[in-house]
């Protein structure tokens, strides 16, 4: 099977079977989305969604957050991973929005990358979710699933994975495909023991064909 054929089968399957292609983070506007995505680094969406209601209420605008201190923010986010760094980044992010972007979330990759706490993955999430632009954010789930299925060929970095996916997935599907892969990795193609028995992609999955079917003489 060629790489192109594998992509075609996988995309078709997701289009027919994926129930959701939206972020599981809860937010009401782009500012809240940016806060939630920064908090979600190495932290579950479930945990972030428990933290953000009180945080959003206390810091409803970039101006209010920019005028606060990391110590104040820390009290609201201390149950998530790396709360000290994230508290500093959230205040720094708000100050950058107020000082450089008229308190609005910018809509270009280069501008987003100037904001504290925003790396390439976070920036691509914002472009995709907030602005519906063709961007592919690669987190640990997307990286793992892409390599495992064979959409990428033993990619060594998130950027390498991103470039391969962008090359082979139609532009108009990129935003949805980002969520397809994340949710598939979160609930089916999990890190330690993928649930191959319930996976609809196994007919086109390199891992399944080699590790499961091949081992049982089905390949």
Q: Is 205 annotated as a binding residue?
A: yes
The token pair at 75 is 């009290």
Q: Which residue has the tokens 């428990």?
A: 50
Q: CA-to-CA distance for 150 and 155, rounded, in angstroms?
A: 10
78 is catalytic: no
**Catalytic residue from among 71, 88, 110, 121:** 121
The tokens describing 156, both together, are 């060594």
Please state, in angstroms and as integers, the Cα–Cα distance from residue 6 to each residue in 30, 125, 182, following that order: 35, 25, 18
d(CA 193, CA 171): 31
Q: Is 43 annotated as a binding residue?
A: no
Q: What is the 3-state secondary structure (H, E, C) of 16-40?
A: HHCCCCCCCCCCCCHHHHHHHHHHC
* Other C-beta atoms lying within 10 Å of the C-beta of residue 27: 19
- CA 207 to chain centroid, in Å, comes to 23
| Residue 193 CB-half CA count within 13 A | 1
Cβ neighbour number for residue 126 with a 10 Å cutoff? 25
Residue 199 annotated as lining a ligand binding site = yes
Instruction: Kindly name the residue from 45, 78, 88, 139 that is annotated as catalytic.
Output: 139
State yes or no: is 110 an active-site residue: no
Residue 80 marked as a ligand binder: no
Binding-site members are 189, 196, 199, 205
Binding-site members for [4Fe-4S] cluster are 189, 196, 199, 205
Active site residues: 121, 139
């Amino acid at each position: 099977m060629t790489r192109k054929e594998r992509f075609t089968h996988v995309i078709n399957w997701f289009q027919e079977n994926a129930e959701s292609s939206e972020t599981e983070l809860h937010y009401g506007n782009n500012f809240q989305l940016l806060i939630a995505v920064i908090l979600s680094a190495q932290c579950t969406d479930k945990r972030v969604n428990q933290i953000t209601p009180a945080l959003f209420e206390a810091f409803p605008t970039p101006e209010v957050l920019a005028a606060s201190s990391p110590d104040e923010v820390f009290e609201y986010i201390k149950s998530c991973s790396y709360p000290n760094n994230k508290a500093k980044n959230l205040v720094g992010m708000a100050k950058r929005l107020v000082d450089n972007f008229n308190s609005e979330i910018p809509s270009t990759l280069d501008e987003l990358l100037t904001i504290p706490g925003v790396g390439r993955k976070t920036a691509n999430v914002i472009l995709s979710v907030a602005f519906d632009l063709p961007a592919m954010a690669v987190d640990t789930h997307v990286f793992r699933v892409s390599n495992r299925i064979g959409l990428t060929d033993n990619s060594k970095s998130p950027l390498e994975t991103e470039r391969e996916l962008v090359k082979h997935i139609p532009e108009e599907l990129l935003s949805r495909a980002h969520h397809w892969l994340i949710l598939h990795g979160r609930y089916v193609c999990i890190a330690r023991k993928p649930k191959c028995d319930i996976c609809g992609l196994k007919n086109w999955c390199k891992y399944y064909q080699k590790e499961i079917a091949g081992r049982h003489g089905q390949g």
